[in-house]
Chain A
Amino acid sequence: MNKKFTSVGVKTKRVDAKAKVTGAAQYVDDIQFPGTLYAKVFRSTEPHAEIVSIDLEKAKKLPGVKAVICGKDFPYHTGLYHVDQYMFAMEKVRYVGEPVAAVAATSLEIAEKALKLIKVKYKKLKANYDPIKGMKKDAPLIHPDLHKYFSVPSINPKPHSNIPNHFKIRKGDPAKAFKKAHKIIENRFKVPQIQHVPLETHGAIAKTDLSGKITVWSSCQSPFTVRYLLAHCFKKQLKDFRIIAPFVGGGFGCKAGVNIEPITVALSMKCLGKPVKLILTREEEMYTIVVRQACHIRIKSGVDKNGKIIAQENEYIWDCGAYAGYGVNIVRAAGYSICGAYNIPNIKGDSIGVYTNRPVGSAFRGFGMSEIHWAIEQQMDMIAIEMGIDAVEFRKLNTLKPGSTTATCQVVTKHTGNMIACIEETAKNIGWGKKKKAGKNNYRAVGIALAQKAPAMPNNATSAAVVKLNEFGGAEVLFSGMEIGQGVMTAMGQIAAETLGISMDKVNVVGLPDTDYSPYEWQTVASRITFSCGNAVKNAAQDAIDQVKKIAAKVFECKAKDIVVQDGIIKYGKKTLPLEQVCMGYQYEDGHTIGGAIIGRGHFTAKDCINCDPKTGYSPKPVANWTYGAQAVDVEVNGETGELTIHNVSCTYDIGKVINPQGADGQAYGGIVQGMGAGIMEALVVDEKTGNVMNPSFVDYKVPTIKDMPLSMTSSFIETQQLDGPYGARGVGEHTMIPTPAAIANAVYYATGVRIQELPVTAEKVLKGLEELGKNK
């Protein structure tokens, strides 16, 4: 594509910057209605117990309390891919923090007081926090009714077990290939549960009006999915619900499905005409909603004499926590991506989800890829070291290239992406192979890791958009991809401006969907919005401009295909017409008018995606596309304390056409920092005696501050065109955090010889390792 672009690919200031900087942007908690009732949730204090009785009577009698409800009032299920959760715990509770009842009152203080008057009696059951124990045949069942639950077709629960999904890859003949292997290298790795830590905690307001129509203002990533799941949950029509999604202060996956919305709606149904507001405290946010799944990993690789991996066994045992409505799809995503970005002819892969009594695992930026790459990318280094091959060369030798096949036997083409270019660019930018100077008593080295990820979405996930031209020759662009900080509003504006042939300042980007008025979007997840919603916007803008050309063709008395629109001017040869003279219909000198208000519509659904075979995982195209990338980290280890200083991070992603260079850089930096947090400091700790989370606040759950930032970060992009992407673009939102932890661990190894196989890479673990090697200063 040699066409010169005017908006796409141009560094563009965020369209929502002014609203956010000035405070004009409204979030759920900013919305204040008169007569609001405040909600609080009564939560389980037991990790696993039968509910013997629930006494709500005293709470109901407290003056100011307007509703107190529990499971028997709303015995409804929720769950996106696998329907395993009641809105409120019914027969039993499965984790500490699970909703058991809820209160709406005239003030937050009264609601809190009412919670203290609710009495629940439990009969304790044995709790299990270890997914490996949970897989055993005699393990007590956390969900005895698993065989009765509804799951979507791509999910394979194992009846009468603790396993809500088991995804298998059986490619080639690994047993035979292992026999031929020159070396076999096997390692185990562990990933703990971590928290998303959005700046804005979950919040929702629900109002059921006197006619029964329910409006929900929600801090969510997917308003249409919220509407769909609410309608299912309450057994109502979609038209009964209207979801309004204001700005979101960070999602990272935790606001992907429904969370607190059903409870808020249920309360509002008992308080007709009154808005009911539920805003979670930070402490509730930490463990009562969703967290990233933990994972126990084993990888066994067989290599030939030249360092080619010829066989591999990958085993991912996921700690789904107490419920797996969303988590089962992470198990699936880890399954079809089982060996990362490598070309391995013989694979036995098992990705197994297991219920435990930990907090609920769910979507988290990376959707399983951050977790499995922690292991895969260290395993690759461990093989390279064993074989005496440079880590960069080893990756270049084994990574996917045109003609390679993925774990599901999908054939990689030159359009899939260029991993070799990503590796080479990253290595160049970090100064791979050059010795880095360490301070006195310190060690320093560079580590590298790769990443690949595809959008994990149903094959029929669809996006829609509307582009309305206006009287000044500008446009309103409507879509429902949520602005969760990633810059979608700006990117959609650029795509619309480019396609319409007008400048960005004429585009009114109408993000912030309202399901009664906005076009459909499945979900803002999976790094799919630029790709999928971007295509819908492009198609809608093209539809609008086609209508413009049709009218202009009559005016110019020419064929529509010979007309171009540039800089807001309709051109046919030397004849020109300002766009605004056509947007609302063209009026001739005598007053008669042709055409009328122009509204373009567009949609997009990825083509030809095929579900994986449940026995072998085979699919010629399991996903819409892949994004490849590489990241290298320059780390200095303090020889006295084990502390890490991240000097420099360099990353390269092949994201097809870069729509907004500024936005792409932002995603890279943000991902690196979030990856670094997961890499060196984050872990949710559960007390296995009580099931309580030990660090449910920022006192002991740490995320990086501005002082912890890498001293330098650089990002580059390779632009292998995505053939079905808008202007050739594909997603990058999640990918940037995937390789960081493994790259850090690899750097620590090269610097010190200490190999940390369980996240996070804390100073304490590094120091212990240094001592074991006698290298502490």
Chain B
Amino acid sequence: MPTLNYLCPTTSSELKKILKKKKTDSFILAGGTDLLVKIRHNVVKPKEIIDIKKIKKFNEIKLTKTQLNIGCAATLNEIAENKTIKEKFPAIADGSLSIGSTQIRNRGTLVGNLCNSSPVADTVPGLLIYDAKIKILSPTGTKTVSIHDFITGVGKNILKKNEIVESVILPLPKNTKSAFLKNARRKALDLSSVNVAVGLFNKSKKNPDIRIAVGACAPITKRAQKAEKFLKKNGLTDETIKKAAKMLPISPISDLRGSKEFRNKIAHRLFIKLATQLGEV
């Protein structure tokens, strides 16, 4: 019978000691909504599981004067229902709400969604447009990296085996609005065929500070810098939005969730819809 070592630290310092000795067959457990599926499908065979939910501060969603910290054990439903996130970061709240079902969101975490680093992750486009910072904990201390440098490939990120993401830091924006849309085969419990987050960070229609990220259409979801620059220069009109849609950095594949042609079309339409909506109000 295979044995499984279950560790459940209650403080950061305890966790640090565990991380120091962590091996490659040891896995971090937060909500477990990705890990348990991978274990069932024999994708990973853990000999040790480190449950981080019992560390109190990891569960917190904390607001300071300049930023919002989302702890790595904060659940997707807590995020989707958080008043500050709904007000200040609607694309992140809606992205979180679009994942799985109520039951899954009661377990799953935003940081888990990020660390799973799937191209279809529904919280990632939102994190990208808000230039989130990722606070990484290792046995020797903490460091902060940009969301733009975090994901390195399909299911891959910069985390080393003895590191975890402790929290996601969102600088508090001024005068912003944002929105998120997801296209999937059904209305709940489905992976995105395409997901899009768009944010408007100033009130200028002439020189809009617009930020765009389209997910599920490339190995790594990235900001649509070319389209952003184009719109900033040329203003937000029906015509420029349509032109910008053609500049999205997307190269979708065909799979069971949709053909590349379909994904291209949907990505364009969702982007146009969001950009138009944000420009109108």
Chain A contact residues, CB within 8 Å of chain B: 107, 109-110, 640-641, 643, 681, 685, 694-695, 698-700, 702, 704-708, 762-764, 767-768
List residues of chain A with CB within 8 A of the CB of B265. Answer: 767
- Alpha-carbon distance between A107 and B2 when the two chains are bound, in angstroms: 12
A700 touches B258 (CB 8 A): no
Q: Report how far A726 CA is from B156 CA in the complex, Å.
A: 64
Counting from the closest, the 7 A-B pairs by CB-CB distance are: A707-B187, A707-B188, A700-B256, A764-B262, A705-B188, A640-B269, A708-B187
- A123, chain B: closest CB distance, angstroms: 28
A694 to B187, CA, bound (A): 22
Cβ contact of B185, chosen from A640, A681, A767, cutoff 8 A: A681
Other A-B contacts than A705-B101, A705-B187, A763-B185, 18 sampled, CB-CB below 8 A, are A641-B266, A643-B183, A685-B256, A695-B256, A698-B189, A700-B256, A705-B188, A706-B188, A707-B186, A707-B187, A707-B188, A708-B186, A708-B188, A763-B183, A764-B258, A764-B259, A764-B262, A768-B262
- Docked complex Cα distance between A762 and B257 (Å): 11
The one of A109, A641, A708 that contacts B183, using a Cβ cutoff of 8 Å: A641
| A109 and B185 within 8 A (CB) | no
Question: B185 contacts which chain A residues (CB < 8 A)?
Answer: 681, 702, 762-763
* Chain B residues with CB below 8 A from A705, complex form: 101, 186-189
User: Does A700 lie within 8 Å of B257, measured CB to CB?
Assistant: yes
A643: which B residues are within 8 A, CB to CB?
Answer: 183
Chain B residues, CB < 8 A from A698: 189
Given contacts A702-B190, A708-B187, A767-B265, contact A640 B273 (CB under 8 A): yes
Which of A681, A694, A699, A764 is B186 in contact with, Cβ under 8 Å?
A: A681
Find chain B residues with CB under 8 A from A762 CB. Answer: 185
Contact with A along B261-275 (1 / 0, CB 8 A): 010011001000100
Determine how close the nearest CB of chain B comes to the CB of A568; give it in whole angstroms: 47
> Are B101 and A109 in touch, CB under 8 angstroms?
no
Of listed A640, A681, A767, residue having the most chain B CB within 10 A: A640
Q: Separation in Å of the B260 CB from the closest CB of chain A?
A: 11
A765 and chain B: residue at smallest CB distance: B262
- Chain A: minimal CB distance from B259 (Å): 7
B188 CB contacts on chain A under 8 angstroms: 705-708
Q: Is B1 interfacial (CB 8 A cutoff)?
A: yes
Chain A residues near B2 (CB-CB < 8 A): 109
Can you list 13 A-B pairs with a CB-CB distance of less than 8 A? Answer: A109-B1, A640-B269, A641-B183, A641-B269, A694-B256, A695-B256, A699-B191, A704-B186, A705-B188, A706-B188, A707-B186, A763-B183, A763-B185
CA A458 – CA B212 in complex, angstroms? 63
Q: How far is the CB of A516 from chain B (nearest CB, A)?
A: 38
Provide the residues of chain B in CB contact with A768, threshold 8 Å.
262
Q: How far is the CB of A701 from chain B (nearest CB, A)?
A: 9
What is the distance, in angstroms, from A508's C-beta to the closest C-beta of chain B? Answer: 37
Nearest CB on A from B181, distance (A): 10
User: Which single residue of chain A is at the shortest CB-CB distance from B261?
Assistant: A768
Enumerate chain A residues within 8 angstroms of B189, measured Cβ to Cβ: 698, 705
Contacts of A706 in B (CB 8 A): 188
Q: From B259, which residue of chain A is reached at the shortest CB distance?
A: A764
CB distance from A760 to the nearest CB of B (A): 10
Cβ of A631 to closest chain B Cβ, rounded Å: 21
Residues of chain A contacted by B273 (CB below 8 angstroms):
640
A767 to B259, CA, bound (A): 12
Given the complex of chains A and B, what is the CA–CA distance between A705 and B256 in angstroms? 19
Number of residues from B at the complex interface, CB < 8 A: 20
Which residues of B, 209-261, contact A by the 8 Å Cβ criterion? 256-259
Contact bitstring B1-32, A, C-beta under 8 A = 1, else 0: 11000000000000000000000000000000
Chain A residues contacting B186 (CB-CB under 8 Å) are 681, 702, 704-705, 707-708
Q: Among residues 66 to 101 in chain B, which have CB atoms less than 8 Å away from a CB atom of chain A?
A: 101
Measured in the bound complex, the distance between the Cα atoms of B186 and A681 in whole Å is: 8
Please give the distance in Å from A644's CB to the nearest CB on chain B. 11
User: Are A107's CB and B1's CB within 8 A?
Assistant: yes
User: Which residue from chain B places its CB closest to the CB of A777 in the assembled complex?
Assistant: B269
Q: Which residue of B lies closest to A694 (CB)?
A: B256
CB contact between A767 and one of B1, B101, B191, B262 (< 8 Å): that residue? B262
- Alpha-carbon distance between A641 and B269 when the two chains are bound, in angstroms: 8
Q: Which residues 163-199 in B have Cβ within 8 Å of A in the complex?
A: 183, 185-191
Nearest-Cβ distance from residue B45 to partner chain A, whole angstroms: 12
CA A708 to CA B185, docked complex, whole Å: 10
Query: In the complex, what distance in Å separates the CA atom of A706 from the CA atom of B187?
Result: 9
Chain A residue at smallest Cβ distance from B255: A700
**A699 closest partner in B (C-beta):** B191
* B 51-65 binary contact with A (CB < 8 Å = 1; else 0): 000000000000000
List residues of chain B with CB within 8 A of the CB of A110. 1
Chain A residue nearest to B183 in the complex (CB): A641
Q: How far is the CB of B1 from chain A (nearest CB, A)?
A: 6
A490 CB to nearest chain B CB (Å) = 30
Residues of A contacting B101 in the complex (Cβ-Cβ under 8 angstroms): 705
Distance in angstroms between the alpha carbons of A767 and B257 in the assembled complex: 15
How far apart are the CA atoms of A286 and B160 in the complex, in Å? 37
* Bound-complex Cα distance A706 to B102 (A): 12
Which residues of A sit under 8 angstroms from B1, Cβ to Cβ? 107, 109-110
- Rounded to whole Å, the gap between the CB of A661 and the closest CB of chain B is 30
- Distance A706 CA – B101 CA, assembled complex (angstroms): 10
Q: Which residues of A contact B259 (CB under 8 A)?
A: 764
How far apart sit A249 and B188, CA to CA, in the bound complex (Å)?
23
Chain A residues in 8 Å Cβ range of B258 = 764
How far does the alpha carbon of A65 sit from the alpha carbon of B2 in the complex, in Å? 16
The residue among A694, A700, A708, A764 with the most chain B CB atoms within 10 A of its own CB is: A764
The complex places the Cα of A702 from the Cα of B184 at a distance, in Å, of 11
Which residues from B are CB-within-8-Å of A708? 186-188
Nearest chain B residue, comparing its CB with the CB of A107: B1
CA distance A770 to B265 in the complex (A): 12
In the complex the two chains form, what is the Cα distance from A477 to B119 in whole Å?
58
Please, which residues of chain A bring their CB within 8 A of the CB of B183?
Answer: 641, 643, 763
- In the complex, which of the residues B101, B183, B187, B259 has the most CB atoms of chain A within 10 Å of its own CB atom? B187
**B-side contacts of A685, CB under 8 Å:** 256
The residue of chain A having its C-beta at the shortest distance from the C-beta of B262 within the complex is A764
Residues of B close to A681: CB separation below 8 A:
185-186
CB within 8 Å of A: which B129-174 residues:
none
Note all chain B residues with C-beta closer than 8 A to A109.
Answer: 1-2
A64 closest partner in B (C-beta) = B1
A763 contacts across to B, CB distance below 8 A:
183, 185
Question: How far is the CB of B102 from the nearest CB of chain A, in Å?
Answer: 10
Bound-state CA distance A588–B190 (Å) is 72
- Bound-complex Cα distance A540 to B268 (A): 67
How far is A276 from B269 in the complex, measured between Cα atoms in Å? 55
Shortest Cβ distance from residue A381 to the other chain B in the assembled complex, whole angstroms: 26
Instruction: Give the shortest distance, in Å, between A514 (CB) and chain B (any CB).
Output: 35
